[in-house]
Amino acid sequence: MKNKVFKKVLHNKLINYLKRYPNEKEKVTKTLHLLVNDHHCFKRTNWDGHFTASAWVVDKSRKWILMTHHKQLNIWLQLGGHAEDNNNLLEVALKEAKEESGINNFNIISEEIFDLDIHKIPKYGSNPEHLHYDVRFILQADKLEELSISNESNDLAWIEIEDVLNLNPKKSIERMMHKFVNQFSQA
């Protein structure tokens, strides 16, 4: 029963996201298709594609973004990871943010989806190439809280907002920066 409730919540959040970002219809449609038609969409071993959740973490001044230098992918990214069969993706984003930063206290700026991305993960070890359907939320943390780099990262740092795209200019990061600056940086 609980799984059905959270799947319905995610479905509704995706519909709300589409209303806010109608230009992202193709991506939302593909994500909804996965949610509705693939009963294993929250399992990490579903090589047809599976859900992940991320946290775009900002400080109170909203001038700094917490990013990790991902070991496997060798790029700077927002914090996040696999759903591991948990279909409450906000809960997953919070858990991953805590595990990957060592920070225990986060404020949820919005329970709505901040960003949505579908991206290819290259073959790694025995894991074949597959798709991540990444549902992203925006969180706030205290920049003064001590950081702890996880074993999945090479580095972890608060990055000044104007330097984020210098570290990772990919469209996905650029889109999140644009949304953040236009909707949340002055809040």
Q: 2: pLDDT confidence band, cut at 50, 70 and 90?
A: low
Residue 166 has what pLDDT?
Answer: 96
Return d(Cα 109, Cα 35) in angstroms, integer.
25
Residue 186 has what pLDDT?
Answer: 60
Residues 6+ apart with CB under 8 A from 182: none
The average confidence (pLDDT) of the chain is: 94
Residue 183 has what pLDDT?
Answer: 86
Residue 5 has what pLDDT?
Answer: 82
Residues 6+ apart with CB under 8 A from 4: none
Residue 4 has what pLDDT?
Answer: 80
| pTM given for the model | 0.94
Q: What percent of the chain has pLDDT over 90?
A: 89
Residue 158 has what pLDDT?
Answer: 98
Return d(Cα 173, Cα 47) in angstroms, integer.
24
Backbone angles phi, psi at 140, to 5 degrees: -125, 140
Return d(Cα 23, Cα 144) in angstroms, integer.
37
Query: How does pLDDT run across 129-179, given as a tens digit for each residue?
Result: 999 999 999 999 999 999 999 998 999 999 999 999 999 999 999 999 999
Q: 66: pLDDT confidence band, cut at 50, 70 and 90?
A: very high
Q: 76: pLDDT confidence band, cut at 50, 70 and 90?
A: very high
Residue 18 has what pLDDT?
Answer: 98
CATH number belonging to domain 2-183? 3.90.79.10
Return d(Cα 6, Cα 87) in angstroms, integer.
6
β-pairing, 130-140 with 115-121?
A: antiparallel
Residues 6+ apart with CB under 8 A from 148: 101, 102, 156
Domain ranges of the chain: 2-183
Does residue 33 have a pLDDT over 90?
A: yes
Query: For the chain, how far is it from start to end, CA to CA, in angstroms?
Result: 37
Half-sphere exposure of 16 (CA within 13 A, CB side): 12
Return d(Cα 149, Cα 33) in angstroms, integer.
35
Does residue 1 have a pLDDT over 60?
A: no
Does residue 117 have a pLDDT over 70?
A: yes
